[in-house]
């Protein structure tokens, strides 16, 4: 069904799943489980046009987001081709590097888990062991102290 979407919608869905899976993979520090992400994102992403969401629709939307974040679904959607993963990685590195221009030492970082949901590792480029990951953690710390 995902492959029936227009190309732009497929790309956006992949990017969103990529981002949400990284958020979910750090559940120990951010308390955003698959279920929590489904609750937050489901009703906002999946709506019937022109109608107010019913409780049944909201529950279904939450469940759809949870299913999209299932490791097997992520593997099927994201790892369709290496080019997709490389493009997502390039986009994240470009955008985060432009937002975050801070150096961080590894002593300041306590998150070390890399995404377990992806069968072919993404070379840990977004974990907090990477330079980009450390910069992002400092960026978040600075924003929360403002």
Q: What is the mean pLDDT of residues 34-48?
A: 90
Asked whether the beta carbons of 15 and 88 are under 8 A apart, the reply is yes
Q: What is the pLDDT, as a whole number, of residue 107? A: 46
Decide if 58 contacts 40 (C-beta within 8 A): no
Helices 55-68, 71-78: axis angle to 10 degrees equals: 70
- Mean pLDDT of the 65-92 span: 73
Residue 15 near residue 91, CB atoms below 8 Å: yes
State in Å, rounded, how far the first CA of the chain is from the last one: 44
Residue 63 confidence class, pLDDT cut points 50, 70, 90 = very high
Rg of the chain over all Cα atoms, to the nearest angstrom = 16
Per-domain residue ranges of the chain: 2-145
Which residues are within 8 A (CB) of 110 and not within 5 positions of it... i.e. 6 or more apart? Answer: 29, 128
CATH 1.10.555 fits 2-145, yes or no: yes
Summarised one tens digit per residue, pLDDT across range 131-142 is 655 666 666 666
What pLDDT digit, counting tens, does each position of 82-133 carry? 676 677 667 767 766 665 555 444 444 444 344 444 434 444 444 445 565 5
pLDDT exceeds 70 at position 54: yes
Q: What is the 3-state secondary structure (H, E, C) of 24-70?
A: HCCHHHHCCCHHHHHHHHHHHHCCCCCCCCCHHHHHHHHHHHHHHCC
């Amino acid at each position: 069904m995902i492959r029936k979407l227009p190309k732009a919608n497929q790309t956006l869905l992949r990017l969103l799943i990529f981002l949400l899976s990284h958020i979910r993979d750090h559940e120990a520090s951010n308390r955003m489980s698959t279920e929590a992400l489904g609750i937050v994102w489901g009703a906002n992403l999946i709506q019937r046009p022109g109608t107010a969401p019913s409780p049944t629709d909201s529950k279904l939307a939450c469940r759809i987001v949870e299913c999209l974040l299932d490791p097997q679904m992520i593997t099927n959607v994201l790892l369709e081709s290496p080019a997709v993963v490389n493009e997502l990685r390039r986009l994240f590195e470009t955008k985060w590097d432009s937002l975050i221009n801070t150096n961080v030492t590894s002593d300041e970082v306590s998150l070390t888990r890399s995404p377990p949901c992806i069968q072919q590792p993404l070379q840990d480029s977004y974990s907090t062991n990477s330079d980009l990951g450390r910069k992002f953690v400092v960026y978040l710390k600075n924003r929360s102290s403002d």
